[in-house]
Structure 1
Amino acid sequence: MSTPKAIQPPLRIMVVEDDPGIRRYVEAAINCQPDLRCIGSFDRIQPSRLALATNAPDILLLDLGLPDGHGIELITYCKQRHPQCEILVITRFGDDANIIRCLEAGAQGYIPKDAFDPDISRFISELRQGGSPISPRIGRKLFSLLRQQSAPSQSSGTTARSTPDETGLSSREAEVLNLIARGYSYQEISGHLTISLNTVRTYIKQIYQKLAVRSRSEAVFEAAKMGWLPAQLMRPDR
């Protein structure tokens, strides 16, 4: 007789968006999914901070241009209180400075509103599988910025660059880091390296600790600046 699987509680999602139409749409899109639940919906930073002080969402969806401040404040605050929370920025800002600041602060994804997919569950599923939802336009910007950051050290013959093993990364952790940079999800890394999903999560946790980062995006930035990653970061099969 087989043992029934334990029922997983719905993912707890918080929404911060000052456009009432978009906010209501996102709330409805979340609540119509049985495995998702909106635990808070706000249009400003201050009430969002108060809610985060007493609630631990699994996912935070937020805009940047809010009436009482910049959404980067909430990203930093949320990551300090709830390091495991996945953060997806959905905003009209697509400039380099905002992209870098949000990813370095710990956001896992960055989607401009003009590229926003009505199927919000797709973005959420990608986050929970270890992915980083980024629109093609933002992805192109990001890879361009990474190449620019690594170019000075690559062109200088006198600049010494560290290697992954010099920071304490094992060869397997270095492999996982490279796959993270190429956009593989945790599940895909598991299949590619023939290791369990839990083992993948353990390696990634160790990588984050050794690089002193808190997210996939920060890990990729650090590795790129150190010259560990190839110039072409896109997956070879895409």
Structure 2
Amino acid sequence: MPEVVLIVQDEPSARARLFRILMTLGYADDEIVCVSDVAQAKDVAGRHSLEMVLADLRMPDRDDVELIAWLRSINKSLPILVVSAWNVEEMVLDAIRAGANGYLLKERDDLEIAVLLKTVANGGAPIDPFITRHILGLANGSTPNRAASKPDIAEELPGGLLSKRELAILTRVAEGMSNREIAEVLNISQWTVDTHIRHIYGKLKVNSRTQAVRTARRLGLLF
């Protein structure tokens, strides 16, 4: 029986994104199995030989920490990679203790995730640099400030308000581009664009594209 990569993600867009990234790495569509909850994941694990598991930490039926521990109990060498958002930070250490080999943030671009998946396929155990800093902070007895602990993937602009990636996206928004068009121009996924725009809204404290552009111009970030 051929080995398969198991994707365990509740969000259809996240499943589709990881499926697409794996296809770019040379996996065939019949070598990838996508499921949306822990029960389905266990069923697949019982019927297939697994090459690798890419799991979120928030599922509708239970959390994936339990799934990670279960998978590790039946296969000591299986690569298990958490691909999740930073809003589950309290579960990071639990996932690693349960047996996860690595931890990546969904906020990373497709190319970054593809590179790290290659590392896993070659026997590596990558942990997102932001996660590493957080864990080291906990190990040193310090608790990172939650307001300052959200990962900023790109280098910050002077003033620390928007990252270079966020500014690039907002510039395209100001030009009237849709999220799909921005994704094509910047060679990133539409999911990544959507995520960055939500971050922009939060940083600028706005609720629409028009408000975001107007506020950015008032602050001197756009001209």
Could you state the TM-score of these two structures normalised by the residue count of structure 1? 0.53
Q: Which 10-residue stretch deviates more, 64-73 or 129-138?
A: 129-138
Cα separation, 1, equivalents of 2:23 and 2:3 = 11
Structure 1 runs not aligned, ≥5 long: 1-9, 150-238
CA displacement at 1:96 relative to structure 2:
4.9
- Report if aligned partners of 1:56, 1:85 keep a CA contact under 8 Å in 2: no
Instruction: Find the counterpart in structure 1 of residue 26 from structure 2.
Output: 34
CA displacement at 1:36 relative to structure 2:
6.3
Cα separation, 1, equivalents of 2:122 and 2:17 = 24
> What letter corresponds to residue 137 of structure 2 in structure 1?
S
Is the counterpart of residue 112 in structure 1 residue 105 in structure 2? yes
Alignment partner of 1:97: what SS? Answer: helix
Alignment partner of 1:76 out of 64, 69, 80? 69
Which segments of structure 1 move beyond 6 Å, counting only runs of 4 or more? none
CA RMSD in angstroms comes to 2.4
CA displacement at 1:51 relative to structure 2:
0.7
Instruction: List aligned pairs for 1:98-177, cutoff 5 A.
Output: 98-114=91-107, 116-119=108-111, 120-148=113-141
Instruction: Find the counterpart in structure 2 of residue 16 from structure 1.
Output: 8
Is the counterpart of residue 85 in structure 1 residue 78 in structure 2? yes
Cα separation, 2, equivalents of 1:16 and 1:60 = 7
Cα separation, 2, equivalents of 1:28 and 1:34 = 10
Could you state the TM-score of these two structures normalised by the residue count of structure 2? 0.56
> What letter corresponds to residue 14 of structure 1 in structure 2?
L
- Report if aligned partners of 1:11, 1:36 keep a CA contact under 8 Å in 2: no
Alignment partner of 1:27: what SS? Answer: helix
Q: Deviations over 1:57-89 (max 9, x none)?
A: 121001011111101111011111222111111
Alignment partner of 1:40: what SS? Answer: strand
CA displacement at 1:145 relative to structure 2:
2.1
> What letter corresponds to residue 25 of structure 2 in structure 1?
Q
Is the counterpart of residue 48 in structure 1 residue 41 in structure 2? yes
